[in-house]
Amino acid sequence: MAANDDPEAKLAALGLTLPVLPTPLGTYVPFRMDGGTIYCSGQGPRKPDGTMHVGKVGAGVSVEEAYQHARLVGLQLLAVARAAAGSLAKVQAVKVLGMVNAVPDFGDQPKVINGCSDLFVEVLGDWGRHARSAVGMGSLPGGISVEIEAIFRLRG
What CATH number has the domain bearing residue 81?
Answer: 3.30.1330.40
Whether 90 is in a domain gets the answer: yes
Taking the model in full, what pTM does it have? 0.95
Domain count, the chain: 1
What burial letters (b/e) apply to 37-48, b meaning 16+ CB within 10 Å?
ebbbbbbbbbee
The phi and psi torsions of 43 (rounded to 5 degrees) equal: -125, 150
Residue 115's Cβ-side half-sphere holds a number of Cα atoms within 13 Å equal to 29
Range of the structural domain that residue 42 is part of: 3-15+31-154
The tens digit of pLDDT for each residue in 54-113 reads 999 999 999 999 999 999 999 999 999 999 999 999 999 999 999 999 999 999 999 999
pLDDT of the residue at 5: 82
pLDDT reported for residue 4:
53
Output DSSP code: residue 102: B
The per-residue pLDDT for range 46-55, each reduced to its tens digit, is 998 989 999 9
